[in-house]
Structure 1
């Protein structure tokens, strides 16, 4: 009688991941076809097939001639084994490897930018920074000092009193992660810029924030400044901002 032979259509799988080891979108699930033959006959449906991952970082299941890999959070192997009437007849291994992106270059310990994201005539913040994003490394104790300075003038329009107060905040995420942005320094605002037609009074508004949040030590972060209109009946005439992050 011919021996049983178990085979898979691929014995090596490579998935793309971020430099932090997170599997990228669109990589999963992965499916591997399994067949068991006895001579020329396909007996896949007549035998019991089991799958065992060598690490808890991999989720693998088997059904109807297919191994499905639904989670790959680490390198490892999946053992595919066939048995009949409780007797092992053959097995193969599928090797699984993650191809990691190169890590970002080392971040400086202190950076500044005059750029910001947002519309200072809108009362709503944009969802996340999209312009003027800086990359900076937190300290050995996790500290990441942040300073925000904004100077602005309300536009000289109309024949009645005008005022404008701008709000700002800083958001962050781990550099290169592509993850969700979170507030690093929450919504803040300062003095109003005012304009009184007739006597020529035109005062600038400013706000300054200095905070030192604590994050994961020695980690590179992306940080961006967002601005919005906090209050007032006027429109923006001029704004200058400076975001400084790091020690």
Structure 2
């Protein structure tokens, strides 16, 4: 830590607040961040001057337009996002629910693309949001298909903490679900990241047969009925395979 610039780290902590809060006032940032008032005031001035934050007429801060430029650069360089997006739109139109795309970021999954449902009641997921690999279908499907040694190391290191009422916090149960995911090629989560939600996810593989992303259909659990779940499973797996083939995956190879 002594080799890292503490001001930069604190500034990043401040910017990270906006991943889950569209707008925040000065006092709200102090309350949520737990940082001293003087530190927040000093960093806000610099971040606003550099274009990382904008302040509206009500004194509320939000991420600046500069992030659109950076975000577009990152998005353009994520080939998987460009390849997957048309299939995600197709899946949304077929199922009527939100579709998410995740990639692994060390011990977490990051949402890199989403297509919202057209229905009025929807599940909100922000691009850039992260979640533990063990929680939620679109995260856990990445974990399940990691190489065995990486998977085992993760399971030994991770502390399973509850996020939603359905989060798996038992090690043996998690291992069982991961085995089922490997065997079936998909996974389902219920209220794991957010209560009263359901998600069904399948893995996306590259030409080396490595898992590189997860794709899911997600929404309020009342819209995931027993008769529709098998249809959603088939569609998610079908779309995941089509994206995998586009990435060079040979689905005919044993």
Q: Specify the TM-score bucket, using the shorter chain as the normaliser.
A: under 0.3
Larger Rg: 1
Higher RCO structure, 1 or 2 (CA under 8 Å, sep 6+): 1
Structure whose residues are more often strand by fraction: 1
Q: Which has the higher helix share?
A: 2
User: Normalised by the size of structure 2, how large is the TM-score?
Assistant: 0.23
